[in-house]
Amino acid sequence: MSSPSIDESNAPAQSSSFPRKSGAWYGTLAGLIPLILLIVMIVVVFILTAVARQLVAASGFFAQQQAALMVLITGLVLAVGVYIVALVFTFRRVTAWKQGGAVVLVRAALWALGVTALLVVLPVLLAIVLPQQPAP
Amino acid sequence: MSSGRSPSGTSTIEAVEVSTTEGHRVRRVIVTLLTISAILTFAYSALSIYIATQLVYVPQKPIYATPASLGLTFRYVTFPSWEDHLQLRGWFIPGVLSSGRLTSQRTIIMVHGVRTNRADKGAGLLKLSVELARHGFAVLAFDMRGSGESQPAPLSLGYFEQRDVLGAVDFLRSGRLPFPELGRPRVIAGWGVSLGAATMLLAAAQEPAIRAIVSDSAFTDIIPILEREVPKGSHLPQLFTPGALFAARAIYGVDFYAVRPVDVVASIAPRPIFFIQGTRDAFIPPSNMGDLATAARAAPNANVQTWLVPGATHAQSFNTAGKEYVDRVVAFYTATLGQDSSGT
């Protein structure tokens, strides 16, 4: 990541209000929750799209296309909505941890969020990087 | 960073202030990264879905003429595709023997190309059907799904369309034929042009009842063609092609990456294949024919012929070579399917 490194070693000692939640793992997991939710929702949306396509197959191509598109687009918009809400909640938690002086938690969660940003854009990066051999 | 810039001996309050500033900076950077990544990916997905819907939808062209307009007897047929039972429309033209008798002993399934139909004026499909019928071969010419008068369906460039060819074979073997007095075909062969040729190869690899194949201007693999055509058609950069193909799979269940006749063509042996392509084909480069022939010859008992038609552009070999095209194709079918015995 090109972002500045997270070092809050000069921050006050961690508050006793986070006695059992001060591990880096917990912070990382909390930071990854939006990504996990996004992935789960996208997988569910793809499954539902396939189911919708099969259910209306007998009604013909146009009905099938309409159903599949509706499920896919609605699902993706919902997934993005859930992702944004999860990010807002995660940042609120990070703020609370910071105010409580839970440096390790804050650092881990912010790293996880940085990784989330990279993973979310990964399909686009792969589409740019992966070679194509168009016919002449 | 903050620890490196905090000299030892700095008071705790100053250190906390520095740390807080750094923390805010880091947080701002991460929020920016998250926002940019979400916008980029969302925009990429939306455009990919749009391209996919454009890629698979082709308006159906009406049939402009019938074999009757060229003086031949024919009847309309409707039969279901294999597996998904889409209704396909076509016509059955009995072969005409030199005695004037009609025959269906040797029946050729004719498959058109993309964005056209069973009459395909551009490639001269109706004219070729009539020529073959006049040489004693019955012809089953039909519209693939989403084309002509057949049931609308996504254009899958061979992925689903091979079921249409398999449906045509089933129809000839067990369907209600329009000329029952002629009996069932003794042998079935296939002819396809462009997408139809690739589809015919994919179907023949699964269906041994297709005894001989003429493949005019087939592609080896659809992906390089899509990688060239999708950016042209969408006016968007190449990077959207994989996204559009993935979206097509999600929305329509079409796996374009599986449309590779070159992978299956060897399994057609020992049944004979006649590959034809124009030397000036700019849409599917002539090297495709060479690659397909090489792949087909990999089988130990392969029976492969090739013909590069000088000066012919894409799917124009019949229009360019005319009588020579008919003579070569008729000779190929006669050699591989045998003579018609119904008149004897």
Confidence at residue B1, expressed as pLDDT on a 0 to 100 scale: 35
B34/A116 Cβ within 8 A? yes
Structural domain boundaries enclosing A117: 25-129
Beta bridge partners, B187, equal: B106
Helix axes A103-129, A61-99, angle to 10 degrees: 150
Nearest CA in chain A to B228: A134
Beta bridge partners, B277, equal: B308
Phi, psi of A121 (to 5 degrees): -90, -5
Confidence at residue B19, expressed as pLDDT on a 0 to 100 scale: 61
The string of pLDDT tens digits covering residues B161-170 is: 999 999 999 9
- Would you say residue A55 lies in a domain? yes
Cβ contact B132:B72 at 8 Å: no
- Would you say residue A29 lies in a domain? yes
Confidence at residue A12, expressed as pLDDT on a 0 to 100 scale: 43
The string of pLDDT tens digits covering residues A23-59 is: 888 999 999 999 999 999 999 999 999 999 999 988 8
Picking from B56, B60, B86, the residue whose alpha carbon sits closest to that of residue B163 is B86
Residue type, B230: V
Measuring CA to CA, how many Å separate B20 from each of A4, A28, A98, B186, B320? 13, 20, 9, 86, 78
The string of pLDDT tens digits covering residues B171-192 is: 999 999 999 999 999 999 999 9
- Determine the Cα–Cα distance for residues B24 and B251; give it in Å rounded to an integer: 42
pLDDT band at B344 (very low <50, low <70, confident <90, very high): low
Q: Which two tokens stand for residue A74?
A: 């609605």
Instruction: Assess whether pLDDT exceeds 50 at residue B5.
Output: no
- DSSP, collapsed to helix, strand or coil, labels residue B207 as coil
B-chain CB neighbours of A62 within 8 Å are: 152
Measuring CA to CA, how many Å separate A128 from each of A114, B226, B229? 21, 16, 17
- Would you say residue A14 lies in a domain? no
Picking from B197, B76, B202, the residue whose alpha carbon sits closest to that of residue B148 is B76
Using DSSP bridges, classify how beta strands B87-93 and B138-142 pair: parallel, antiparallel or unpaired: antiparallel
- Residue appearing with tokens 């807080």: B20
- Determine the Cα–Cα distance for residues B5 and B218; give it in Å rounded to an integer: 67
Comparing CB atoms, the residue among A65, A118, A132 nearest residue B227 is: A132
- DSSP, collapsed to helix, strand or coil, labels residue B191 as strand
Q: Computed from CA positions of residues B321, B325, B326, B328, in that sequence, does the dihedral angle turn out positive or negative?
A: positive
| Chain A nearest C-alpha distance from B183 (Å) | 33
Torsion of CA B56, B119, B307, B286, to 10 degrees: -30
Nearest CA in chain B to A118: B37
A98/B40 Cβ within 8 A? no
Count of domains for chain A: 1
- The answer to whether residue B224 neighbours chain A at the CB level (below 8 Å) is yes
> What average pLDDT does range B212-235 have in this prediction?
96
Minimum mean pLDDT among B19-28, B84-93, B112-121: which range? B19-28
- Determine the Cα–Cα distance for residues A134 and B225; give it in Å rounded to an integer: 6
Determine whether domain B67-221+264-336 maps to CATH 3.40.50.1820.
yes
pLDDT band at B14 (very low <50, low <70, confident <90, very high): low
Q: What is the mean pLDDT of chain B?
A: 92
**pLDDT mean values, one per 10 residues, chain A (136 residues):** 41 46 83 96 95 89 91 95 96 91 90 96 94 85
pLDDT band at B341 (very low <50, low <70, confident <90, very high): confident
Share of chain B above pLDDT 90, in %: 88
Helix axes A61-99, B240-252, angle to 10 degrees: 120
Helices (H), chain B: 2-5, 12-56, 125-134, 162-174, 195-204, 222-234, 240-252, 261-264, 287-296, 317-321, 323-337
- Would you say residue A110 lies in a domain? yes
Confidence at residue A23, expressed as pLDDT on a 0 to 100 scale: 80
Comparing CB atoms, the residue among B30, B231, B241 nearest residue A110 is: B30
- Would you say residue A84 lies in a domain? yes
B22/A65 Cβ within 8 A? no
Q: The whole model's pTM is what? A: 0.87
Beta bridge partners, B141, equal: B91, B110
Confidence at residue A101, expressed as pLDDT on a 0 to 100 scale: 86
| Chain A nearest C-alpha distance from B222 (Å) | 9
> What average pLDDT does range B265-275 have in this prediction?
97
Domain boundaries, chain B: 1-56+222-258, 67-221+264-336
Beta bridge partners, B110, equal: B141, B191
- Would you say residue A51 lies in a domain? yes
